Chains A and B, each alone.
Chain A
Amino acid sequence: MTLHRPTNLVLAMAGALLLALLVALQWTSIPPVSIVTLPLVLFLPGYGLSAVLLGNYRVSRAARLLWSVGLSIAVAIVGGVLVALTPWGLQTTTWVILLAGVTCSAGGLAWLGGYGTGDRGRMTDEGRRRMDDNKGFRVSPGDAILFGLAVLAILAALQIAQLPAPPTSANGYTSLWILPSNSPNAHVIHFGFTSQEMEPVTYKVVVQVNGQPAQTWSEITLQPGEQWMNSFDASQVAAAAKIEADLYREDEPDAVYRSAVVNAN
């Protein structure tokens, strides 16, 4: 079907408004809808602008594509700088207004001016020379099958790329931390550790004050990704005392695995 002159512009403007509505209704939290709104940023504003800037001139599809995408990005950048100067700043609402607004304004101007993006219109020199733009290029059923196989292969490649490395590729670790309470009157020391080991590990925690064991927690088993937290009451501890949390692994009970130190104030 050959689309007549104004139809492409009307479709572009209607599309921009529809996508703006989807964004306003927050339907973009649904992944397929999210992808559908991509043209609102990366294509439609430039398409509308190209219609009004090119006037009645036809250019090749490749040129139209570059115009549309490139000008859309340029509109977002320049428009974004200007919008950031306003009190409203760069938020979803202002983006939607900017991008849909440019698409509809430019498209509307082009439509009113009688410009178009369809088959009618004068040929540019480039358009005239590129008459074989759509010729000699046919996608046969065999090609379509090959394209489909290629897409499947690429999707498989991307899936392979995202596979996590096996546990043997590197060493896991455990992170121990210690912090005094944020409250100035509280004499509580918070501490904890997170396991990023490759398998479940059993730990022991010993809190020492000036080198002397003050409190011990044993038989703490964490799965990979799990966290353990506790606190130590330092109200009876002298000022400037050194409070140390030492972490031991059950399979190496004599070696301090991790150590964190804080000075009591």
Chain B
Amino acid sequence: MKITCNHILILAITTLAAVTSCTDLTETMYPQVTQDNFLRERSDVKAAFFRAYPHTNWLLTWNNMKNLQELSADQLAIPQKGRHWFDNGIYVRLHRHTWTPEHPQIWDAWNGLYQGIGYLNQNLEDFAKIDLTQPQFGYAASDTTEMMAELRIFRAWYYLKLIDLFGNVPVITKVGEPQSPPIQSRDEVFAWVEQQITDNVDQILTKDDNGSYGRITQAAAWTMLAKLYMNAEVYTGTARWEDAVAACDKILSGQVGSYSLDPSWQDPFKSDNDKSEENIWALVNGRWGGAWSFIGPALHYSHDVLFGVSGWNGYVTQEAAFKAYQDNDLRKNQFLIGLQVSATGDTAYATEEYAGQPLELVPYIARMTDQGQSDMTSGEENSGARAIKYPLLNPNDPLFLASDIVLYRLADIYLMKAEALMRLNGNKATQEAVDLVNAMRERSFEPADWPAEAYTTSTLTMDTLLAERGREFFWESWRRQDMIRFGKFTGSWWDKQPSDATRRIFPIPRRATASNSNLEQNPGYN
């Protein structure tokens, strides 16, 4: 073979083609932004800073955390109704306390909580790396301090939920680190949460600061501490009732902002509840907001006749919880019961067992087409009263389902302080405790009825206090925690037999333990 300069030229060109064009494999995608080019200006920082707020709103509404808190207790249930809602028995197991680490809703809550912690950790890490006082960001040094303190307290709120639900959990303060973290004991997490809140509470906004609505304020942080101390005996074995009283007093004294009870029991939940003077922390929602997560799953398929929207017939009220309200208790108006007829006289019709007949909701959960058996698997389409605590306006109303989702409100401070005082008084009511409970309860009765309904030191027992908490905080995700604190959670009611003490915390979900061998399972689960 004769090699000529032309051969070399061809080789050269081929080689050149191969080498010059070769190795650039950069990826581009519009409009995708990545972590390394994200925080460029003030609006980016804002968008990142507030990420955990709507996440928390989702956690309290559509996430299963609220199902763990409510469906394991004695007020709400999702019984099987004919061919609907058996759903592999997940609701039956929640009710009967027979859940296992595989239970999908437990994973959902665990995952949702740690996801929120991840957003907050990422913010704390990113904001510490950049100087937010630079002109493109334009924050004052005091803003930065406040933001970092608020993020830390927000993160503490998440751990407060974790110790309540799971007890012993890993404390993570940086995304991705450490790999395979071990659990920390409930005592250690408790101490860490307390420290995080007390160290930072003075730096964050109060109700009077511009832009504080919807965010964690000092009063909200003190409510967290109150909740922490109220349940300290459950969490750590050491009661902290005096500290609970002190935390409540911080709020009641007006030192961290002025709050007062709203005139009506429903005002804190109305569609314009941003005007409430009672709410200490509510998450901001617009039309078709999180309130629908309580209402949609409770309405019957045919409720559009009454409300213009139909539901999927899931949540119902356990009979005893519905009957815990006296007929003259104004709070009983939140329930849908009886024949379902609209304001204009149109009747909703049943579509399942009673298809074609007018829909009549009954207080009990039982198979009346058969032998009247009443348990979690024998509901029918009309079983149980349906609770509409966040009001349901006309779908065309600009505030339709726009209620802000309430986390903390003053009524709870009243009842928590009353309870702590009674605990300190050998579980007996003091006059101050009675006054606090009555101050909260009075608005739920007509003035004419009230004298007969007011509590006295002899009628306000621990049991009546728990019952009153049940009536007032129905659907506010406190029932499981309250029942545990009052020692009732492992007892029996309706279709629930006594359960083991280990059921007072949930197991660490299997998906988490399977991917991290350092996660020691809670006692009583395997």
Are A and B physically bound partners?
no
